[in-house]
Amino acid sequence: MNGIGLWTLLRKEILRFWKVLLQTVAAPVLTALLYLLVFAQALEGRVEVYPGVAYSVFLIPGLAMMSILQNAFANSSSSLIQSKITGNIAFILIAPLSHLEFLLAYLLAAALRGLLVGAGVLLAGFWVVDLPLAYPLWVLVWACLAALAFAAIGVIAGIWADKFDHLSGVQNFIILPLTFLSGVFYSIHSLPPFWLAVSQANPVFYMIDGFRYGFFAQADVSPWLGLAVALPFTLILCGVAMQLIMRGYKLRH
């Protein structure tokens, strides 16, 4: 393991978003808070998903997880496509880094950005409402697992895409449906049968549901069942990303 090389690339990826925190962290946190303001104002007192849990309180973990997923994806995918378009990906490929070190640097940097945005949403939530925290370890496990999964999707999309339009297509037709049809704003048991089945087939639902369990000790499904779905999903995505890097797919030409 080339520790110095891994740290150098990881530091480069972290500094890439750290130097523009207003755009990469503060803006997504503000977007999530605007969702909270609109939906809480419209549905507070009219919807009670869990007994004794106000709708605004129920909403905050879902928004935090949605922010983690979207920003982890955005970081790794945008970094790779920019490096490919500008041509500086060549300098990374000729560096004395193994394929695993290459992948880890992008995954960890993207996951860190996602976790920072999620933490910002939660901190704002703790300030606005009385948000319980029943199982902090479950919260941490689900946040890290989800961030890694969508960082891996970002790596795959960034390698596959030839231009920013391709990334926009992935964002609009894959990432947004996965996150919005996962129970961020509602319990899936309130859905008609067809959409209930669609949500149950969505691995992001299990991530958000397990994440909520860490706060409320209540969930639509067992967190262990969710882990049995989400962990293989994440490992498969990381494996696909690793295979693309090993083959040099759309990287070495």
Residue with tokens 């939530």: 125
CA 131-210-47 angle, 5° bins:
55
Tens of pLDDT, residue by residue over 166-184, are 999 999 999 998 988 888 8
Would you say residue 39 lies in a domain? yes
49: closest CA among 211, 188, 205, 201? 188
pLDDT (0 to 100) of residue 41: 73
Would you say residue 200 lies in a domain? yes
**CA 89, CA 95: separation in Å to the nearest integer?**
10
Give the total number of structural domains in the chain.
1
Would you say residue 81 lies in a domain? yes
Percentage of the chain lying above the pLDDT 70 cut: 97
Residue with tokens 């928004």: 63
**CA 158, CA 76: separation in Å to the nearest integer?**
7
Would you say residue 253 lies in a domain? no
**CA 44, CA 54: separation in Å to the nearest integer?**
7
H helix runs in the chain, sequence order:
3-18, 21, 27-43, 55-86, 89-93, 99-128, 136-160, 164-170, 176-180, 193-200, 203-216, 223-247
Assign residue 250 a region (left: φ > 0; alpha: ψ between -120 and 50; beta: otherwise).
left
Tens of pLDDT, residue by residue over 223-234, are 999 999 999 999
Would you say residue 144 lies in a domain? yes
Would you say residue 152 lies in a domain? yes
- With H, G, I as helix, E, B as strand and everything else as coil, classify residue 86: helix
Tens of pLDDT, residue by residue over 95-139, are 999 999 999 999 999 999 999 999 999 999 888 888 899 999 999
Would you say residue 252 lies in a domain? no
Q: Residue 236 sits in which domain range?
A: 3-44+51-247
pLDDT (0 to 100) of residue 128: 82
| Residue 210 pLDDT greater than 90, yes or no | yes
**CA 185, CA 39: separation in Å to the nearest integer?**
8
Average pLDDT over residues 13-17: 96
Average pLDDT over residues 213-217: 94
pTM of the model: 0.94
pLDDT (0 to 100) of residue 26: 95
